A and B are shown apart, each in its own frame.
Chain A
Amino acid sequence: MGNIAKKRIGEIAVAGTNIIPLEQTSSPRPMVIRLDRVSKHYGGDTIAAVENISFSVEQGEILVLLGPSGCGKTTTLRLIAGFEAPDGGRIEIAGRTVACDNIFLPPEQRGVGMVFQDYALFPHLTVQENVAFGLRHVSAEQQRSRIAEALDLVGLSTLHRRYPYELSGGQQQRVALARALAPSPQVVLLDEPFSNLDADMRAQIREDVHSILHQAGTTAIFVTHDQEEAFVIADRVGVLNRGCLEQLDHPEAIYHTPATRFIAGFVGSADFVPGLVQGERITTELGTFPNQQGLSVGRAVELMIRPDDIDLVPDEASEATVLTRQFRGADNLYCVRLPSGRKIHSNQGSTKFIEPGTRVSIQANPTHVVCFDIDGLSQ
């Protein structure tokens, strides 16, 4: 709650420059970050770290860039922050061009807060001094109040005299967040912030950070390789693969209607079953499905099937057999061999036991019918 949030909407304070007033509108919200066909190459054009990426982030929105390692998500973050200069394209922050052909604004003038994977707290300064680090441009009075607000927001007010080495991982992370938020930046960039935490703490801290950001109304861009994490925090998710932004959408859309085969496999488990488009229906060995995407007749496609789309019923007459069963606590994951030899997976309830070797009949009920070309592109 509080003053930071109010300031967020009322004005934007950019470190070191003048305050730009912003009109209070409910919607559409202004664009805080805008990337337009941004590219970055390493090794002189041979390695494209980031290729032609365009997206924009609304104020107050939390965008998560998701992808495997080496996909360019961290590079994109660093391009926005100003630690790298793009080879092509344009980057705008709060309407101001910060990187373009001849323009390059260094990081200290961009008003961008950053939370690093290893927190990067200054070890020789106390928590208070850490948080105060970005507040040099305000009066001592204001500094004190902002520090107090920031620490209050992250719930660490009592620890302001401690040094970073005296804090736990989760506490350090919250200090890093407070430090980034204190100068009221345009946007906060977070680079895999939860990967250094123990697994049991991760969920809780994730929750906390999410609510802190929402409370403060801050625009944030996360970078992660953890799909579950992305879905939980994000308002929108952008999936990157090999430097390209393959899909930018709400988490539900990413999961249920992935744009590429890569996304389908990366976000949740998926099996692919070949099928043939025949008019209104697509024929596969699991049955026929409605041709929701309006594909042309005669096309050979691959249908995406998720384990939770498949139901299994023991049936002596069927030719599909259960191969293995993995008890995972909350559910059972079955691997089933289809008559064609293809294997698919199915999620069943925690108490539903089917012996391996049992013949089962398969009922496929996908919520969305998503097909891909043999190339892997969605239709």
Chain B
Amino acid sequence: MVSGSVQRVELVGLWRSQIAGLGVPAVVATVLIILLTASPLVNLLISAVTGGLKAFSIVMNSSMLSLIAQTLLLAGLATLWAMVLGLPPAWILTRTDLPGRRLLQAVGVLPLAIPPYIGAFTYITLLGPVGWINTAYQTMGGSGPIVNIYGLWGGALVLGLFTYPYILLMVSSALKGSDPALEEAARAAGLGPVGIFCRVTFPLLRPSLLAGALLVFLYALSDFGAVSLLRVNTFTTEIFHQLNTRFDQQNAAVLSAILVLLTAVVLMAQRKSLGRRSFVQRRGGTRPATIYPLGRWKVPALCCSYLVLGGSVFLPVALLLYQIGSPMSLLHTLFAGYHYLWNSLWTAAVAATAASGLGLFAAYLSQRRKGPVGLLLTSATQLGYAIPGTVLGLSLILLYNTYLPWVYGTATMVILGYLLRFLPQAVQGSAAALAQVNPNLEEAARSLGRSTWQALREVTVPLIRPGVAAGWMLVFISSMKELAATLLLRPAGFDTLPVRIWIASIEVDYAGAAATSLILIAITALPLFLISRLDATASQLN
């Protein structure tokens, strides 16, 4: 044949292999997704770089180094604290005979229903300079505050306390799925439980521990609400400050660019540490792991577990309940602010639905069609992890105000913020679900006469529904709790629950903040609990 037509066939072959059977809508969707996710960041970086000398004078400032140091230190301390809080319970709950451990496992995710900024202000009421502890101490005759939650240490404490479930979950998962043969071999060699843990279990856990730790680190880097309430000066608070005091956004853009760089480095480290295992695969068919009897350690272990849970769930909720005063004021807040609740609900739901759809598409392309397109798409959707809420808000404002002004100032901006920030969670949920589905199933369907789309619809979709649903709920919960980007993106009169909590905290209306917080927690706790039950059932049956 003539070389031209051979070349054409080769090109067609490549195209075919990438998007075979999916056609034009797939191409359009791909382009759209990449544009949507990459454009804000690109625009931000351009703004930062074109800032000129004035902008870079901030970078050269000596206070910049101390800002970087402070931010990294905060994140590091928070991560360490989260590991201390998350690792022992993970081992106790999966490897010992602690009574009630199944319940504790299910409840273990609940701290994630409490956003750190709510945790922050409840701990301020307890441990702040005018908090309960200090007031009680002063009533008893002491002078001056003995404990002050404001500052770096307080920030690390609170952040770690409300993010340790990430570590708990990842490590528990790894422990449940690991092969007991190794530990049994160690036992045969004469090691006791501690020895086994140090020499065998811990090295096996290292990957998931690292993955969870990096997740916490990333979270701490990008947190805004808690650190600003606790008066820690980090990048996010500084960016917010710049946006609120100066009449140009150049400085904020430069700071944002640096923060994104820091976050990107951490993110790449995390990806590398996970390698191909970005989700834990359950190994069916292995024997259950050894359970160590606790004996006289039962009580301390119980205390430890309940203490951790207490500090991160029971105590804050109790404090909130106390702050409200009476159930009437809770109802009153609900009535007065039902449209804030509605705003939160519908924007989160729309964002979750859009994210699930796009996420499924991206996950499918990257899993089933290995190639440059899939890779590009996955990287684009992962950008949300690397961009803290404040930065995302800023970049969306910069982009849409300049190029798409009719979108700017509507609630769509808020939805976009949620979508871009939490798309990675949806992608991950779908990817995990897809990975469990045998690719041969789709081929079997095709050999039996279905087109690619039909095979997807009739075979793949029913099987991944639980995973996609879990992803939807994750995005929903995250969007409900989101504060930093919403603060920047919301149009006038359009407040969400987190924004109300924030405003109330700032204006020291702790009772109002408490009421709204309880409503928010109640709404996010339910899907969270559902997801954990779904997960537990799946793992039990495997």
Contact = CB atoms under 8 A, between A and B. Distances in A.
Interface of A: 15-16, 81-83, 85, 87, 101-102, 104, 106-108, 112-114, 116, 118, 120-124, 133-134, 136-137, 179-180, 183
Contact of B445 (A15, A112, A133): A133
B438 A134 contact: no
A176 to B, nearest CB: 8
Contacts of A121: 444
B191 to A, nearest CB: 36
A127 to B, nearest CB: 14
A101 B1 contact: yes
Given A101-B1, A101-B9, A106-B21, A120 B446 contact: no
B447 A122 contact: no
B449 A106 contact: no
B450 interface: yes
B96 interface: no
Contacts of B445: 122, 133
Contacts of A112: 447
25 contacts: A15-B449, A81-B443, A82-B446, A85-B16, A87-B13, A106-B20, A106-B452, A107-B446, A107-B447, A113-B448, A114-B443, A114-B447, A116-B443, A120-B438, A120-B440, A120-B441, A120-B444, A121-B444, A122-B441, A122-B444, A122-B445, A123-B463, A124-B462, A134-B447, A183-B449
Given A108-B451, A122-B445, A180-B447, 5 more contacts: A101-B9, A107-B446, A120-B444, A133-B448, A183-B449
Nearest to B455: A108
Nearest to B439: A120
A173 B76 CA distance: 54
A113 B447 contact: yes
A16 B446 CA distance: 12
B445 to A, nearest CB: 7
A81 B449 contact: no
A122 B445 CA distance: 9
Contact of B449 (A85, A87, A120, A136): A136
B463 A106 contact: no
A123 B458 CA distance: 12
A191 to B, nearest CB: 9
B26 to A, nearest CB: 15
A37 to B, nearest CB: 13
Contacts of A16: 449
Nearest to B451: A108
Contacts of A133: 445, 448
Given A101-B5, A118-B438, A106 B451 contact: yes
A121 B459 CA distance: 10
B444 A114 contact: yes
Interface string B422-457: 000000000000000010110111111111100000
Contacts of B5: 101-102
Tell me whether chain B's interface is mostly helix, strand or loop, or mixed: helix
Given A107-B446, A183-B448, A183-B449, A116 B440 contact: yes
A137 B440 contact: no
A183 B449 CA distance: 9
Contact of B443 (A15, A104, A120): A120
Contacts of A108: 446-451
A114 B440 CA distance: 10
A325 to B, nearest CB: 36
B362 to A, nearest CB: 23
Contacts of A183: 448-449
A180 B1 CA distance: 36
Contacts of B449: 15-16, 108, 134, 136-137, 183
Nearest to B17: A85
A113 B449 CA distance: 9
Contacts of B438: 118, 120
A134 B445 CA distance: 8
A179 B450 CA distance: 14
Given A134-B449, A180-B447, A124 B463 contact: yes
Nearest to A104: B16
A66 B446 CA distance: 25
Contact of A118 (B6, B440, B446): B440
Interface in B197-252: none
A183 B446 CA distance: 13
Contacts of A107: 443, 446-447
A136 B445 CA distance: 12
A81 B448 CA distance: 11
Interface string B441-485: 101111111111000000100110000000000000000000000
A136 B452 CA distance: 16
Contacts of B459: 122
Interface in B387-437: none
A116 B444 contact: yes
A91 B486 CA distance: 59
B448 A83 contact: no
A22 to B, nearest CB: 21
Contacts of A136: 449
Contact of A85 (B13, B446, B452): B13
Nearest to B446: A107
A219 to B, nearest CB: 15
A108 B456 CA distance: 13
Contacts of B9: 101-102
A233 B452 CA distance: 33
Contacts of B17: 85
Contacts of B443: 81, 83, 107, 114, 116, 120
Contacts of A82: 446
A234 to B, nearest CB: 22
A115 B425 CA distance: 35
Contacts of B448: 15, 108, 113, 133-134, 179-180, 183
